[in-house]
Amino acid sequence: MAFDIVGDIAILKKPLKYSEEEYVRKIVEKHKGVRTILLQETEVEPPYRIARYRLLYGENRTETIAIEYGLKFKVDVARCYYSSRLSNERYRIARNVKDGEDVLVMFSGVNPYSIYISKFSKARTIYSVELNPFAVKYGLENVRLNKANNVITILGDVRDVVPYIEYLSNSDGIVKEEILEDTIESSIELNRVIFLDKIDYRVKAREYLEREFFEGKERFKKKFDRIIMPLPKESDLFLEVAIPAIKDGGIIHLYHFLSEENYLEEAEKILEEYSNRIGFEYEILGITRVGDISPGVYRFCIDFKVKRT
Ligand SMILES: C[S@@+](CC[C@H](N)C(=O)[O-])C[C@H]1O[C@@H](n2cnc3c(N)ncnc32)[C@H](O)[C@@H]1O
């Protein structure tokens, strides 16, 4: 039976092998702690990577607390991405971090990677950048719950935030018009909000930010020892902002969907293309299979060292 358990919520994904009633009966029988059973009715969708659910059993709620490796993650599964299947991978990454490193976690969700790194390494600072205001709200709460005091959480698109991260602090946010309502609804407490309204941000956001907020400030002043990029479908597109933000000799963990048969060639192809386009050299340190997506396709993490050309 394929289902995920997040805290006290069980989540079933279609296609179902048996009837809904059969699943409910078996889950309730085997997993005494489960209070709610949801059926995932859609694929996870961009930009927040969340799906829609239907209640099959129990309490009508989608908020819960997941416990992994002794850490607590509060999450609303209907409003934020969260996968309990990635716990070993998060631990693997955290154990790779060396003493005193400055780490950037892009696409940080409710902060699981950042909190693992804070608790299982001696990193100096961990910056988290996340677009979904609900995820940021829970991310800030999870930092408090786990006393992960060296985690700095910022709301915004990594494209807007990372070039100016040196000038941003914990709970700052760069908010686009299209996520304004979500930001308000999430009741997120932000220190400083920079609004990008009524502009065609894909083209103009950078100019606008520079003109209105960061004039005279150096772009990519802050450089990181390590950058985590957990957005498997399109992480590579964001190398454009990761490469200028990594120190010479720094390490990037890039998640990508690759095929079982040709994953080595496919990983090389991605890095080759971007290294030519952006201008950097790389050394692949390892490629780890992290989970399955569809027959023959898996989530992989490509660990590579960046050398400036
Ligand atoms: C696959 S989830 C990973 C979340 C988290 N790292 C985890 O492992 O639970 C990807 C996250 O990236 C966020 N996201 C998508 N595009 C983004 C962007 N351009 N800038 C910042 N965050 C983004 C989504 O809202 C989502 O929370």
pTM for this prediction: 0.96
Is residue 113 lining ligand 1, measured as CB closer than 6 Å?
A: yes
Q: Please state, in angstroms and rounded to a whole number, the distance separating the CA atoms of residues 81 and 85.
A: 12
Q: Using 50, 70 and 90 to split pLDDT, how confident is the model at 1?
A: low
Tell me, yes or no, whether 244 and 300 share the same domain. Answer: yes
Give the domain CATH number at 151: 3.40.50.150
Q: Residue whose CA is closest, atom 27 of ligand 1? A: 109
Residue with tokens 């990677």: 113
In a domain, 192, yes or no: yes
Angle, nearest 10°, between helix axes 133-145 and 112-120? 20
In a domain, 78, yes or no: no
Token pair belonging to 30: 């085997």
Tell me, yes or no, whether 150 and 275 share the same domain. Answer: yes
Tell me, yes or no, whether 136 and 7 share the same domain. Answer: no
Q: Please state, in angstroms and rounded to a whole number, the distance separating the CA atoms of residues 285 and 254.
A: 12
DSSP characters over 109-167:
TTSHHHHHHHHHS--SEEEEEES-HHHHHHHHHHHHHTT-TTEEEEES-HHHHGGGGGG
In a domain, 77, yes or no: no
Query: What pLDDT digit, counting tens, does each position of 203-233 carry?
Result: 677 888 888 899 999 999 999 999 999 999 8
Q: Among 68, 143, 231, which is best to mutate for testing ligand 1, by the most ligand atoms less than 8 A from CB?
A: 231
Domain span holding position 52: 3-61
β-strand 280-294 against 297-308: which pairing, if any?
antiparallel
Query: What pLDDT digit, counting tens, does each position of 248-301 carry?
Result: 999 999 999 999 999 999 999 999 999 999 999 999 999 999 988 888 889 999
Is residue 158 lining ligand 1, measured as CB closer than 6 Å?
A: yes
Tell me, yes or no, whether 55 and 89 share the same domain. Answer: no
CB 198 within 8 Å of CB 188? no
Tell me, yes or no, whether 292 and 207 share the same domain. Answer: yes
Q: Among 50, 69, 81, which is best to mutate for testing ligand 1, by the most ligand atoms less than 8 A from CB?
A: 81
Q: Please state, in angstroms and rounded to a whole number, the distance separating the CA atoms of residues 99 and 84.
A: 27
Tell me, yes or no, whether 8 and 153 share the same domain. Answer: no
Coil/strand/helix, residue 265:
helix
Question: Does residue 238 have a pLDDT over 60?
Answer: yes
CB 93 within 8 Å of CB 114? no
Tell me, yes or no, whether 115 and 57 share the same domain. Answer: no
In a domain, 79, yes or no: no
Question: Does residue 129 have a pLDDT over 80?
Answer: yes
Last residue of a domain, one of 11, 26, 61: 61
Tell me, yes or no, whether 13 and 110 share the same domain. Answer: no
In a domain, 69, yes or no: no
Tell me, yes or no, whether 42 and 88 share the same domain. Answer: no
Tell me, yes or no, whether 44 and 156 share the same domain. Answer: no
Reported in sequence order, the residue ranges of the chain that DSSP labels E, i.e. its strands, are 3-6, 9-13, 36-40, 53-58, 63-68, 71-76, 102-106, 125-130, 151-155, 173-176, 193-196, 224-229, 246-259, 280-294, 297-308
> How many domains in the chain?
2
Average pLDDT over residues 131-137: 98
In a domain, 47, yes or no: yes
In a domain, 70, yes or no: no
Burial bucket for residue 83 (CB in 10 Å: 0-12, 13-18, 19+):
buried
- Of all residues in the chain, the percent with pLDDT exceeding 90 is 87
